A and B are shown apart, each in its own frame.
Chain A
Amino acid sequence: MDNFELHTPTKVIFGKGTEKAAGKEIKALGCKKVLLHYGGQSAKKSGLLDRIEASLKEEGIDYVSLGGVVPNPRLGLVYEGIELCKKEGVDFILAVGGGSVIDSAKAIGYGITHDFDVWDLYDGKAAAVTCAPIGTVLTIAAAGSETSNSSVITKEEGWLKRGYNNDVCRPVFAIMNPEVTYTLPAYQTASGGADILMHTMERYFTQTENVDFTDALCEGLLKTVMKHLLVLVKDPMNYDSRAQVMWAGSISHNGLLNTGRVGDWASHQLEHELGGMFDVAHGAGLAAVWGSWARYVYKENVGRFAQYAVNVMGCAMDFQNPEKTALEGIERMEEFYRKINMPTNIRELGIDLTEEQIEELSEKCVWGGRRTIGNFKVLKKEDVKAIYQMAK
């Protein structure tokens, strides 16, 4: 077990009707002018934005709105938001949406408190020392961005998708009402669920030893989320399943499951490039590459993959041949993805990769050779290429 620091200051307000607390929470922070940041029209149509605007007005809090965030949120809109906030004297950003909206809000939060180009953070050229306070009203259980320290932004020029992590951007509060997620399309529910699972799996597949406690928490989370994603395929308005998945989504990515261990994150990097080039749903993209990543790397630590197979996927341990168990666990995971209508390869994701595209994805993924990806097995460009080939 490694030394670690964990600081999760986000106040979580969870359950039915909790979105009405937004205005009061912001007022308690002493903020006066809000940027109400959101995505498409669904938040408006569902009445959610109206309810939030009403709660702001009730507390006498002024606000400006900026909608239009798309999946794989764009740098262009972030720049627009920064400009708007500076002009209007915004001192609080309220993100109403999922990971894309929250990530965009975090980027704006960095932008209005620093003089340099905000992209420099994502490009690894600068570090943030502060961030404007962010609040979230979550509408999809997926990214975990509502309590996490990460933000992922896509730069349209060259379609570069990059992440930046810093504790200063952790939201001050996260309002989570599972009812708000009832009307999500089934594909988005499943894709969000796959993302939640992957946040824990990336942490689970570690080479750090003696991490029993976080292993047990990870295994419990994964089993619970799988159980309830299967329920939601048939019964999308099941409050309790929506609630388990939503809360697990935050815990999966708030840092707790990472304590004392080094996570992998190769699958995320592999998917980020796909998302940048093809604009796929993040969770579906992760499901499409994970199986190939797993088969490419499992020999580095057969025991861990066998543990996953037994403790998470419910396989019987083959004590004479643990490798067989390890591979069975990967197969069962793919079966699970199919049951929730998620892809298990890139073709099922609706993409037919050319050799040139694989070359380009691999090149970008390792930053033109400036980095390797993953920790379970450290991957170079050739490894990345081989995995994309397997995942085709």
Chain B
Amino acid sequence: MLNFEFYSPTKVIFGKETENQTAKEVKACGCRKVLLHYGGESARKSGLLGRIEESLKAEGIDYITLGGVVPNPRLSLVYQGIELCRKEGVDFILAVGGGSVIDSGKAIAMGAVSDCDVWDFYEKRTEPKAALPVGVVLTIAAAGSETSTDSVITNEDGWLKKGFGSVLLRPKFAVMNPELTYTLPDYQTASGGTDIMMHTMERYFTQVEDVDFTDALCEGLLRVMMKHLKILVKDPKNYDSRAQVMWAGSVSHNGLMSTGRIGDFASHQIEHELGGMFDVAHGAGLAAVWPSWARYVYKANVGRFAQYAVNVMGCAMDFQNPEKTALEGIERMEEFYHAIHMPVNLKELGVDPTDAQIEEMAEKATWFGRRDVGNFVPLKKEDLIQIYQMARG
């Protein structure tokens, strides 16, 4: 077990009708002018935005709105938000949406109080010194951005998708009402659930030894997620399943599951390039690449993949041939993805990259040779090309 720091100060307000508390929480932060940041029109049509606007008015808090965030949120809208915040003297960003809206909100929060180009942070050219406070009303259980340090933005100029993390970006509060997720399309529920699971799986597949406690927490989270995602395929308005999934989504990515260990995150990097090039749903993209990643790397630690197979997927251990158990665990995971209608390869994802495109993605993922991807097995460009090829289906 490694030394670590863990700091997760986001106040979570969870349950039915909790969105009505939003304005009170903004006020408690001492802020006066809010940027209400959101995505498409569903938040307005459902009445959610209206309720939040009413609650802001009731507390006497001024606000301006900026909608239009799309999946794989764009840098150009971030620039627009920064401009707007500066012009209007905004001192609080309220993100109403899922990971894309929150990530966009975080980028605006940094950019509004920094002199440099906000993209420089994502390019790791410089570090932000401050950020406006961000609050969240979550509408999809997926990214975990509501309590995390992270933000992922796509630069249209070259379709580069890059992530950045800083404690400055942890939201002040996260309002989570599972009921708000009732009307999500099935595909988004499943894709979000896959994302949640992958946040924990990336941490689970580690080479760090003696991490029993976080192993047990990870395994419990994954089993619960699979159980309730399957329920939601048939019964999307099941409050308790929506609630388990939503809360697990935050805990999966707030840092607890990585304490004392080094996560992998290769699958995320592999998917980021896909998302940048083909604009696929993030979770579905992860499902499409994970099995190929797993088969490419499992020999580096058969024991860990066998543990996953037994403790998470419920396989019986083959003590004479642990490798068989390890591979069975990967197969069962694919079966699970199919059960929730997620792809297990690029073909099922609806993407058919050319060899040149695979070369380009592998190139971008390794920052043109400036870095390796992943920690379970550090992957170079050639490894990534093979994994993309395996994932074609």
Contact = CB atoms under 8 A, between A and B. Distances in A.
Chain A complexes with chain B: yes
Interface of A: 1-18, 209-210, 212-213, 216-217, 219-221, 223-225, 227-228, 239-240, 243-244, 247-248, 251, 256, 259-260
A218 to B, nearest CB: 8
B256 interface: yes
A8 B5 contact: no
A15 B248 contact: no
Given A14-B3, A16-B3, A220-B216, A3 B15 contact: yes
Given A14-B3, A212-B224, A213-B248, A220 B11 contact: no
Nearest to B216: A220
A15 B213 contact: no
A6 B12 contact: yes
B14 interface: yes
B48 interface: no
B223 A216 contact: yes
A247 B210 CA distance: 13
Interface of B: 1-16, 18, 209-210, 212-213, 215-217, 219-221, 223-224, 227-228, 239-240, 243-244, 247-248, 251, 256, 259-260
12 contacts: A1-B15, A3-B15, A4-B15, A14-B260, A210-B240, A212-B228, A217-B221, A219-B220, A244-B1, A247-B259, A247-B260, A251-B213
Nearest to A214: B247
B220 A14 contact: no
Contacts of A17: 3
A33 to B, nearest CB: 25
A4 B210 contact: no
B217 A220 contact: yes
A5 B260 CA distance: 26
What 10 A-B pairs have minimum CB-CB distances, sorted nearest first? Answer: A3-B15, A15-B3, A216-B220, A220-B216, A240-B210, A210-B240, A9-B9, A7-B11, A12-B6, A11-B7
A50 B9 CA distance: 31
A316 B209 CA distance: 30
B216 A221 contact: yes
A256 B244 contact: no
Given A243-B1, A247-B213, A217 B14 contact: no
Nearest to B311: A220
Nearest to A178: B1
Contacts of A18: 3
A259 to B, nearest CB: 7
Contacts of A260: 14-15, 243, 247
Nearest to A16: B3
Contacts of A15: 1-4, 260
B260 A243 contact: yes
A308 B200 CA distance: 25
A224 B210 CA distance: 11
A101 to B, nearest CB: 22
B213 A221 contact: yes
B107 to A, nearest CB: 24
Nearest to B218: A220
Given A15-B2, A221-B217, A244 B212 contact: yes
B173 to A, nearest CB: 9
A224 B217 CA distance: 10
A2 B18 CA distance: 12
A220 B210 CA distance: 15
A14 B14 contact: no
Contacts of B210: 240, 243-244
A227 B260 contact: no
B212 to A, nearest CB: 5
Given A1-B239, A240-B1, 6 more contacts: A1-B244, A7-B11, A213-B251, A219-B220, A227-B212, A247-B213
Question: Which of B8, B11, B224 has the most C-beta atoms of chain A within 10 angstroms of its own C-beta?
Answer: B8
A217 B217 contact: yes
Contacts of A217: 217, 220-221, 251
A324 B159 CA distance: 62
A18 B6 CA distance: 13
Nearest to A173: B7
B24 to A, nearest CB: 12
A217 B210 CA distance: 18
Interface centre among A1, A221, A240 (most CB of B within 10 A): A1
A100 to B, nearest CB: 24
Nearest to A216: B220
A187 B140 CA distance: 48
Given A213-B247, A228-B212, A14 B221 contact: no
A390 to B, nearest CB: 32
Contact of B7 (A12, A16, A220): A12
Contacts of A13: 5
Given A216-B220, A251-B256, A256-B251, A5 B12 contact: yes
Contacts of A225: 213
Interface hub of A6, A213, A223, A256 (most chain B Cβ within 10 A): A213
Contact of A216 (B5, B221, B240, B256): B221
A12 B5 contact: yes
Contact of B247 (A209, A224, A248, A259): A259
Nearest to B251: A256
B4 to A, nearest CB: 5
Nearest to A248: B213
Nearest to A170: B9
Contacts of A8: 8-9
B230 to A, nearest CB: 12
B164 to A, nearest CB: 21
B314 to A, nearest CB: 13
A250 B356 CA distance: 51
Nearest to B5: A13
Nearest to B14: A4
Which of A216, A225, A227: most chain B Cβ within 10 A?
A216
Contacts of A221: 213, 216-217
A109 to B, nearest CB: 19
A1 B210 CA distance: 33
B156 to A, nearest CB: 37
Contacts of A16: 3
A209 B243 CA distance: 12
A248 B12 CA distance: 21
Contacts of B256: 251, 256
